[in-house]
Structure 1
């Protein structure tokens, strides 16, 4: 027993001395007990530039958090190339400059290479990233290629990449998304203005981007001039960065213009059950966010609207549309009001009664009477916008004279007792303008 006790004492003493000696050895490196993404970057010399940038942007703690994250990590060569190209160094780059760039490499979800699918994702910088996968090759924004995938960590996964992923602009996604190649071709071939707008960092736009199938359905456009095609493209751009949650049912304006004026064309947005524009084009992929705008991919080209386009798109005109079609089959109102600008009798000023206005009267059953009433709402050969009302006290319609006032904006039919309020003005089409009114205008019968 004494021998065993002595042996235990010697052994414990030996271990204690050994542990003490090892802990006192400054040259000994112990493996880290932490396994986060931030630890990986800190422990790998090939990511020292990335580490320095994360430290300057005060993001090390973020990538040490619970996550889960997916990080596309550029190595030193990639980061140094980026800094040089932008005239920066790790010493001169500011936190404000580095933060969005670094977060542009981070997803707030763990995605292994086997789970990656081609498409758009939103990164932690609140920009979109287009990730494409072909076989085993994975690219981000067609700029950075994954060189080493699936470095698994406790709070996510790292994919090493060979380039820094720059903050995207609208032109980048139009250029790299194969589903937008037709849009890219039409814009490049016909409109330096559109290309400049998509490229300009100062732009703040919403782009409704027709996919390739939309251009195929549009058909042959070879007969259209570059000016006409440019206007069609501009009809897909709205001022301001509008995500889907910013849109509501009603009218907005595009960058397309009426004739040779600077009056922007209107666009009717319907958010009942999705997002639809002018009754013909629906959003299929929403909220592709870039530094200079937001892209919504749509399934149809939004051609330049006529006054008929808005009448049929806006449900508030359903009674008017029925009167123009079902109740007056002998009059080709649709063909007349679709007449292009430059061809008589266009342009048109249409005072369009909403459904409530029709509900307030007894609509005649005789087709000729209905046609007479409808013609009393249409001024041919003139695009009378609200700023012209004061100088246009009287206007000749297709059936008699109406009276206009500017303050407040009203219109009075030949036999109406009271004027009708213009409740929505200047719905600008390519061949005329619509003013929404709350009473039906009554002519001399």
Structure 2
């Protein structure tokens, strides 16, 4: 996948070829900071910017901001400006920098127009993945609800989710969460008989086709329901059995939630019938293994690591 690394010089050339209405230099003389101040649904984003000490940074030249709404912040526990006191300024800065691109990027920028999972470098050299299709503009699988808001120093794209900076790989991402500790234990146990599986999950595989994967990650409740209630239960299980299960939860390539479609996906499991089935149940996308009685639901989608898209599910998928 080609990375979109737009230098200031290249951006000026791109913008020179755009229609006048798409050129941020023709916008009203207000910056990204001004737009945030004027928009009521960005009140918590404004508080986050203040907490991170980034107000001046948003006044710089040629920037693009993916801007989470108040509802997006509330969904992760920040319900008032005062709630940001529970997070350090450096932590908040890391989160906000992951929403900020140096360079003015709109849905009409040539490298983005018609793109699928194009890599765009955000702050701290972390990568965002942008898709621009007939269904709309998406970043890390999340729909941009109001794209291409032109300001004097770039563009603002409104989103309904706070984007978290990615961990280095699947193994690291799982260890950062409290709800998938049994899956982490299963990975370690399975690696004793399938070290190649560990390299796929930790991003060190030499197989170029498996350097980007999608993982359907059963949460701890899912493992408990499948009979693995504790880490001791995981460690007592045959490692080959766990490896067989884990490969059945892993798919080649990045598949974000907006790209999940009704049908089947081929997993890395070695069985002849190694597909999982996606279906719509009560207008909700579900995923089912061959031996599951009922389908699993996706509890949290589009968790990004350096080598994977992770979707947390509420059942262990059985081949």
TM-score (norm 1): 0.33
Question: Which structure is larger by alpha-carbon Rg, 1 or 2?
Answer: 1
TM-score (norm 2): 0.45
> 1 or 2 for the larger relative contact order (CA 8 Å, sep ≥6)?
2
